[in-house]
Amino acid sequence: MTDSTRQAQAEDPAADLTRPPAPAISVVIPLYNEEESIPHLYEALTQALRDYGKSYEIIIVDDGSRDRSFELLRELAEKDPALKVIRLRRNFGQTAAFSAGFDYALGEVIITMDADLQNDPRDIPLLMAKIEEGYDIVSGWRKNRQDRFWDRKLPSMIANRLISNVTDVRLHDYGCSLKAYRRDLLQHVRLYGELHRFIPALASQVGGTVAEVPVNHHARQFGKSKYGLSRAVRVALDLITVWFLGGYATRPIHVFGSIGLVLGGFGFLIGLYLSYVKLFLGQNIGGRPMLLLAVLLVVIGVQLITMGLLGELIIRTYHESQNKPIYFVREVVSQDSYH
């Protein structure tokens, strides 16, 4: 089934009377090697959703786990019609897994969270209350974040500052996975790289309103975090991408080009000065550090301008190739025969 037919059916459940009506809430959870967490997650989440009382589906995206995660999930999904398991062909990363979950979700509201029990499913009603107030996106704020400082909280603090400067959405905690979205809004947001933490910013660009609510956060009980410091670097680079592609900055040629022009211009002026010293004053300039500086500046300037040009080219290519999927599905375990 294509996305558009899936979407059409989701919007109009009466289009096919054998199909159960779309749930109010779809909880989307990317999961990679979390076998120990699965039973606890399933139980806590199901309990919280039942207590809340609205119709729901749980979509767990197995992002190429190598442990017994998928077997455990399959067993659960075979017993519970509310649980759907999307198994990806390999590990595509959390953002791609989110994206897969969004494509399969039918609920009017999508709630995202982590599989490792660091988010608390009992916070779902808090998010839903804000959605009911009329917001399109509600982001959790881990006020008491239970993670190590130097490789988790510190990079996040820096990232939060940068993201809030670069985008026009002001949040305290962009990286919190516990969020709620109106599904129709997400259909206009394309994800790749590490972009899931930018969804509120991307969604606000298509007109979504954003709210933030403080949520609980627990230390990881089982297994290890799947990320190291390298993620901080990737996030920083993605920030630059969002800045460009999101229209938050002028075009790359303007950014790189103007830095290049300034640096190159300086180099050129120093070169002029040195030429004057050599030609009119007759002094030898061969040994002057300034000469090195002039050459360096001109070379860097030219490089930056060229990078700006390449950036333009890549952006154009990117816009033209946007239909490439960022994940591939191996199998879907669901009692809903439409999946």
Residues that bind ligand UDP (CB under 6 A): 30-32, 34, 63, 91, 93-94, 97, 114-116, 118, 225-227
DSSP strand E in 225-338: where?
Answer: 329-333
The smaller minimum CB distance to Mg ion, of residues 117 and 210, is found at 117
**Helices then strands, each counted (H, E), the chain:** 11, 8
Count of beta carbons in the 10 Å neighbourhood of residue 97: 27
Q: Which does 260 bind (CB under 5 to 8 A by kind): ligand UDP, Mg ion, none?
A: none
Task: Give me the least distance between CB of 153 and Mg ion, in Å please.
Answer: 13
The smaller minimum CB distance to ligand UDP, of residues 108 and 114, is found at 114
The smaller minimum CB distance to ligand UDP, of residues 145 and 182, is found at 145
The smaller minimum CB distance to ligand UDP, of residues 5 and 221, is found at 221
For binding to Mg ion (CB under 5 A), which residues are involved?
114, 116, 118
Q: Which does 97 bind (CB under 5 to 8 A by kind): ligand UDP, Mg ion, none?
A: ligand UDP
Task: Give me the least distance between CB of 135 and Mg ion, in Å please.
Answer: 25
In the sheet that holds 109-112, the strands lie side by side as 210-215, 137-142, 179-182, 109-112, 25-31, 56-62, 83-88, 329-333
136 contacts 181 by C-beta, under 8 angstroms: yes
DSSP strand E in 65-188: where?
Answer: 83-88, 109-112, 137-142, 179-182
Q: Which does 238 bind (CB under 5 to 8 A by kind): ligand UDP, Mg ion, none?
A: none
Q: Which does 226 bind (CB under 5 to 8 A by kind): ligand UDP, Mg ion, none?
A: ligand UDP
The smaller minimum CB distance to ligand UDP, of residues 205 and 225, is found at 225
Task: Give me the least distance between CB of 296 and ligand UDP, in Å please.
Answer: 40
Residue type for position 11:
E
Q: Which does 91 bind (CB under 5 to 8 A by kind): Mg ion, ligand UDP, none?
A: ligand UDP
Task: Give me the least distance between CB of 159 and ligand UDP, in Å please.
Answer: 12
229 contacts 155 by C-beta, under 8 angstroms: yes
The residues near 246 (Cβ < 8 Å, ≥ 6 apart) are 167, 198, 201, 202, 205
